[in-house]
Amino acid sequence: MESLKESVQYIKGIGPKRYALLNKLGIYTIEDALYFFPRDYEIWGNIESVSSLKHGSESSTVVEFRGPPKIIRKKRLTIVKWDAFDDTGEIKCVWYNQPYRRNIYSSNKKYFVRGKIDKRYGETQIVMPTVEEYHPQKHDVPKIIPIYPLTKGLTQRDMQKMVYGALQKINNQLYDFLPATIRKEYGLAEKNFALYNIHFPKNETALEEARRRLVFEEFFFINMGLKLIKMETQTEEEGIKFSWTHDEIDDFIDSLPFKLTDAQFRVLDEIYADIKSGKNMNRLIQGDVGSGKTILAAIALYCAVQSGYQGAFMVPTEILAKQHFETFVQLFAKRDVTIKCITGSLSQSDKDALKVDLRSGDIDIIIGTHALLQEDIEFAKLGLVVTDEQHRFGVRQRATMLSKGKKPHMLVMSATPIPRTLSLILYGDLDISIIDELPPGRKAIKTYHVPPSIRNRVYAFVRKQVGEGRQAYVVCPLVEESEKIDSVAAVELFDKLKNGALKGLNVDLLHGRMKGQEKERVMEKFSKGETQVLVSTTVIEVGVDVPNATVMVIENAERFGLAQLHQLRGRVGRGEHQSYCILIANATSKEIRERMSIMVHSDNGFVVAEKDLELRGPGDIFGIRQHGLPEFKIANLARDMDILKLAQQAVEKVVNTRGNPEFDEVMEYIYKEFNAKTLDIVMN
Ligand code: ADP
Ligand code: MG
């Protein structure tokens, strides 16, 4: 076990230089090396005769050398060229700057030779081939060779040697945390076997078994880790038991300008059950954009206040904080509830006053951005923390917020629709409620995909809508995951449109590098209808509500994930008028056409997310890192759902079986390892 954390420098052949290169690939320890999985495999073997070798292919053949080799020196280059042959023809083996090659092969032996075939000037060459003395037992069977991700300065051969060295270090003695009972029941390979065969598979079956085992292990580890954390938070102490006047809450609900949907009532019942149970609520509400999550947050927070507690509502952007604050002030206008809003741009004296009132309990509900996380924000009696659009907050931020009270309840709201199977992984520590119904009377948004060549017609359409009194958003290309670069792109597009296609209209600009107050001013003008077209980066993505906006134009739509496009689309279609979403995308590939077509044909976020998962894998749906969870090294969520379900089943079995020492051991092991790893990731 010691050797796992040992540096790979202890492997023969790895000096400081190679070590530095390996570091670039994230490899420091023996463990890193073992878990640095091949990205692909090549099948050697399939020995071909010299005459049948094809130009450009990576091929294997068996030859004898006809001596002596030719040495050619050119400037700084030494070329060794050696004629070789089999019964069917001749081939030249060529090596650059490897003069030692001329000494190591003899002309009366057969050699297995593998390399890239190059046919030119009537000769067949094999360039920089790997050469091994030919042994029929070894070379006549197909051999599976790992192909690793590389960095400049490292070759496949270096990687293979390094991994092989790591495997020798552990010498089949690695501890297998998966209990033998579980391995047997689910037909899983043993760990040492799996690690060996994922790198150097004996044959295809062994590779398949190795992969299956490692995927299972990865899912099992994460699911178990989350499960244990959840069990811990639930059982450690009693949570707060809310008790409120039902009449007052019912009256509040009756006074709303609309009737809650069935789905909203159902989720509300789930919330009620949690907060009066005496156990901690840890609940995620997933609901498509516009499904009405905010009002549920308001009701839950009112329950807290009615029970004598304070509530906090944490949101990712200043714009959203302000918008929710205004909504809340209206909702509670006739009730005795003190609501305040805290953001980064609040003046110091206002902030200080607010802190005092929070500490004394004079504030009932506080709405705010990350500013809420500051250490000196303290509560008299924090009973409920709601976070909106949770995918923007890390696990640690959630934990910080919760630590401001004595085991407060937690409600997390997300508009990123995530397929059920996935949410079990990502939110394994939360209970999940789904609002799968939109309020009645919403007109479906018409979505179109158009090529950039007819951009002018798109903007003519925007002008027409504006002429009818409506407003529009134009979202500009996401250049990189960098606010700075995106902001520059937004500025450019804004200038171009204002002086071109949208000349004469009130066009405004919003991007992430603007100061909080500036952003607010821009949003306010748009909200009031003073601005007709808002050019923006994705900062408008989250939660903004302007019912008069009916057009959403998305430039370079192919650069966005489907889930994100869906969220952007949700900014329109919030009022009585017909709304439109226009995706400008150059359909250069089948994948892009397919993705755009999904957007055009589906308005259901869960369907969109499911398709996105199929097409592009989970990484693009949401930054997995942001959840404070490790990225998957081998599991592929789109492909390995079956294994995931089995792993989830196995986890249930282990945690629900009491007193089995084998099971206790794995729980203890994962609890320790998982906490260490999760913390690592959340910290960086
Ligand atoms: P989201 O789930 O995207 O956060 P919101 O909570 O912002 O959605 O709600 C979108 C809009 O729908 C708001 O203007 C809200 O007042 C309204 N709304 C919420 N619930 C209902 C309902 N049951 N009937 C009609 N309108 C509703
Ligand atoms: Mg919302």
DSSP states of 547-569 as a string?
A: TTEEEEEETTGGGS-HHHHHHHH
Could you say which ligand is closest to the alpha carbon of residue 570?
1
Residue nearest to atom 5 of ligand 1 (CA): 292
pLDDT in tens, 121-153: 888 999 999 999 998 887 877 789 899 999 999
Pairing of strands 365-368, 471-475: unpaired
Q: Of the ligands numbered here, which is closest to the C-alpha atom of 289?
A: 1
Tell me if 551 sits within 8 A of 472, measured CB to CB. Answer: yes
Structure tokens at 423: 């949410």
Whether residue 523 is predicted with pLDDT greater than 90 in this model: the reply is: no
Tell me which H or E stretch contains 338: none
Closest CA to 409 of 245, 244, 183, 591: 244
- 239 alpha carbon to ligand 1 midpoint, in Å? 30
Amino acid at site 80 = V
Per-residue pLDDT at 391 = 60
Q: Of 102-106, 398-402, 436-440, 478-482, which gets the smallest average pLDDT?
A: 478-482
Which residue owns the Cα nearest ligand 1 atom 1? 290
Taking the centre of ligand 2 as the mean of its atom positions, its distance from the CA of residue 388, in whole angstroms, is: 7
CA of 495 from ligand 2 middle (Å) equals 31
Q: Is the CB of 289 under 6 A from ligand 1?
A: yes
Ligand 2 center–CA 62 separation, angstroms: 67
Q: Is the CB of 436 under 6 A from ligand 1?
A: no
The number of the ligand 1 atom at minimal distance from the alpha carbon of 289 is 3
Output the CA 527–ligand 1 centroid distance in Å.
Answer: 16
Do residues 579 and 547 make contact, with C-beta atoms less than 8 angstroms apart?
Answer: no
From 266, 267, 286, 294, the mutation candidate for ligand 1 (largest count of ligand atoms within 8 A of CB) is 294
Nearest atom within ligand 1 for CA of residue 570: 3
Supply the DSSP symbol for 442.
Answer: P
Q: How far apart are alpha carbons 489 and 508 in whole angstroms?
A: 14
Taking the centre of ligand 1 as the mean of its atom positions, its distance from the CA of residue 292, in whole angstroms, is 3
Q: Atom 23 in ligand 1: which residue has the minimum CA distance?
A: 260
**Of 285 and 631, more confident:** 285
Neighbours of 377 (CB within 10 A): 19
Return d(Cα 129, Cα 131) in angstroms, integer. Answer: 6
Q: Considering every ligand atom, which ligand is closest to the CA of 298? A: 1
Domains, the chain, in order of start with CATH, read: 46-141 (2.40.50.140), 246-277+292-414 (3.40.50.300), 446-602 (3.40.50.300)
* The pLDDT value given to residue 543: 55
189 C-alpha to ligand 1 centroid (Å): 51
258 lines ligand 1 (CB under 6 A): yes
How many other CB atoms are found less than 10 A from the CB of residue 131?
A: 20
Residue 304: which of 224, 399, 379 has the closest Cα? Answer: 379
Residue 262 Cα to ligand 2 midpoint, Å, equals 18
Ligand nearest to the CA of 313: 2
Average pLDDT over residues 193-207: 95
Higher per-residue pLDDT: 217 or 541: 217
295 lines ligand 1 (CB under 6 A): yes
Q: Name the residue at shortest CA distance from atom 18 of ligand 1.
A: 292
Nearest ligand, CA 574? 1
Q: Whose CA is nearest to atom 26 of ligand 1?
A: 439
270-283 pLDDT, tens digit each: 999 999 998 889 89
**pLDDT per residue over 155-195, tens digit each?**
898 999 999 999 999 988 899 999 999 999 999 999 999 99
The pLDDT value recorded for residue 283 is: 92
Pocket test for ligand 1, best of 261, 267, 295 (most atoms within 8 A of CB): 295
Q: Measured in angstroms, how far is the CA atom of residue 337 from the centroid of ligand 2?
A: 21
User: Which atom of ligand 1 is least distant from the CA of 295?
Assistant: 6
> Using CA atoms, how far apart are residues 419 and 605, in angstroms rounded to an integer?
10
CA of 650 to the centre of ligand 2 (A): 36
Q: How many residues does the chain have?
A: 684
545 touches ligand 1 (CB under 6 Å): yes
CA triplet 411, 413, 419: central angle to 5 degrees?
120
User: Ligand 1: does its nearest atom lie under 6 Å from the Cβ of 292?
Assistant: yes
Q: How far is the CA of 473 from the centre of ligand 1 (A)?
A: 20
pLDDT tens digits, 229-283: 777 766 556 789 999 988 999 999 999 999 999 999 999 999 999 999 988 898 9
Specify the pLDDT at position 486.
Answer: 58
Helix (H, G, I), strand (E, B) or coil at 639: coil
Residues 6+ apart with CB under 8 A from 198: 37, 38, 207, 210, 211, 214, 634
291 lines ligand 1 (CB under 6 A): yes
Q: What pLDDT is recorded for position 605? A: 84
CB-based contact 183:220 (threshold 8 Å): no
Cβ 422 vs Cβ 226: under 8 Å:
no
Structure-model confidence comparison of residues 88 and 639, the more confident one: 88
Ligand 2 geometric centre to CA of 439 (Å): 14
**Confidence (pLDDT) at 488:** 67
Q: pLDDT over 90 for what percent of the chain?
A: 56
Is 296's pLDDT higher than 80?
yes
Please give the mean pLDDT across all residues of the chain: 87
Centre of ligand 2 to C-alpha 256, Å, is 17
Residue where the block lists tokens 């993505």: 541
CA-nearest residue for atom 9, ligand 1, is: 292
Q: Which residues contact 16 (CB under 8 A, 6 or more apart)?
A: 9
Of 13-17, 405-409, 437-441, least confident by mean pLDDT is 437-441
The model's confidence at residue 223, banded by pLDDT at 50, 70 and 90, is confident
CA 225/CA 672 separation, integer angstroms: 9
Other C-beta atoms within 10 Å of 503: how many? 10
Give the C-alpha separation, 267 to 414, whole Å. 14
Give the distance (Å) from ligand 1 centre to CA of residue 260: 9
Residue of 290 and 620 predicted with greater confidence: 290
Residue 294 beta carbon below 6 angstroms from any ligand 1 atom: yes
With CA atoms as reference, report the closest residue to 534 among 523, 543, 542.
523
Of ligand 1's listed atoms, the one at least distance from the Cα of 264 is: 23
Decide: 290 in ligand 1 pocket, CB within 6 A.
Answer: yes
Atom of ligand 1 nearest to the CA of 388: 4
Q: Select the more confidently predicted residue: 29 or 320.
A: 29
CA distances to 8, 173, 328, 350 from 324, in Å: 53, 57, 6, 19
